[in-house]
Amino acid sequence: MRSVRTLLGFLTISLLVIEGALLLLARAVQDADRAFVILVAVIAFIVLAATVVAIVRPALLGVSHRTPVLAPVAAPDPKPVAYEYDVFISSPMTALTQESYEAHRKDILKFIRTIELRCKFKCYYSGRNRPTLDHFEAVDVGLRNDMEALKKSRYFLLVFPETLVSSVLVEAGMAIVLNKPALYFKRPGVKLPFTLEGAANSTNPELPRTSKYEYKDTADLVRLIQNNGRGIFE
């Protein structure tokens, strides 16, 4: 015998049961009122049974419960980025001669000390512990280390003392891609690539905030930081 799988099937069987009950009552009961009461009781029992089955085993009657559609839950606000460094200092190194590099490095270290004391910033400078050009790592290793440090820095700062073909220009481009607010310091007459000139002081909201300043010597760099503090970065 096939099982009852739909509400229509259940009602069909119920109707047959009622008809059978009517036939039995018609033969066995003489009192019409009594037969009517019994018939009503049978119908009530069937309705009650159908209700119970619909609640307990809805699938048996072909009734399915739809899963309510929940409103999308708003994603929590992203946590603020924890930077390892405040400022990534980019300045020519291997593009300079040995003598020029050593002198320039001393100026940059003096500039960095001013930033750290005046602004209470932590700076990354690849030449900090490399007194000569002989102390630099392999090119691919240096690039990887500098990229990781730049990603972990809040600001990018370029010191460009003269027009050179230098990897600092690549680092400046990476800073734009990484959306790092930037400062460009260059001497008068020194030309930046067209793209960096366009980024400097641009009002385009799709570009990171970038400011450009000219300086004559290290004393100018120090003065700019001493006079403006963190405000020059903001």
Residue 174 lies inside a defined structural domain of this protein:
yes
> Is the separation of the CB atoms in 172 and 182 below 8 Å?
yes
Q: How far is CA 1 from its chain centroid?
A: 60
Residue 67 lies inside a defined structural domain of this protein:
no
**Rama region for 62: left / alpha / beta (φ>0; ψ in -120 to 50; rest):** left
- Please check whether residues 25 and 117 belong to one and the same domain: no
- Please check whether residues 48 and 164 belong to one and the same domain: no
- Please check whether residues 41 and 109 belong to one and the same domain: no
> Is the separation of the CB atoms in 172 and 196 below 8 Å?
yes
Amino acid found at 234: E
What is residue 132's DSSP assignment? Answer: S
- Please check whether residues 173 and 141 belong to one and the same domain: yes
> Is the separation of the CB atoms in 207 and 181 below 8 Å?
no
Pairwise pLDDT comparison (40 vs 90), residue with the higher score: 90
- Please check whether residues 33 and 133 belong to one and the same domain: no
CATH number at residue 122: 3.40.50.450
Residue 27 lies inside a defined structural domain of this protein:
yes
Work out the average pLDDT over 29-42.
60
Domain that holds residue 34: 7-61
> Is the separation of the CB atoms in 193 and 199 below 8 Å?
no
As for how many domains the chain has, the answer is 2
- Please check whether residues 111 and 213 belong to one and the same domain: yes
- Please check whether residues 133 and 188 belong to one and the same domain: yes
In angstroms, the CA 168 to CA 45 distance is 88
- Please check whether residues 182 and 228 belong to one and the same domain: yes
- Please check whether residues 145 and 48 belong to one and the same domain: no
Structure confidence at residue 153 as a pLDDT band (50, 70, 90): very high
- Please check whether residues 206 and 135 belong to one and the same domain: yes
Please identify, among 61, 77, 98, the residue that sits at the C-terminal boundary of a domain: 61
Structure confidence at residue 24 as a pLDDT band (50, 70, 90): low
Closest CA to 224 of 122, 127, 117, 111: 111
Structure confidence at residue 1 as a pLDDT band (50, 70, 90): very low
| pLDDT at position 201 | 77
> Is the separation of the CB atoms in 42 and 22 below 8 Å?
no
Please identify, among 61, 76, 95, the residue that sits at the C-terminal boundary of a domain: 61
- Please check whether residues 129 and 38 belong to one and the same domain: no
Predicted confidence (pLDDT) per residue in 67-124, tens digit: 666 667 766 666 667 899 999 999 999 999 999 999 999 999 999 999 999 999 999 9
Residue 39 lies inside a defined structural domain of this protein:
yes
- Please check whether residues 179 and 216 belong to one and the same domain: yes
Predicted confidence (pLDDT) per residue in 161-171, tens digit: 999 999 999 99
Please say whether the dihedral angle defined by the alpha carbons of residues 226, 103, 142 and 194, taken in this order, is positive or negative: positive
In angstroms, the CA 171 to CA 189 distance is 21
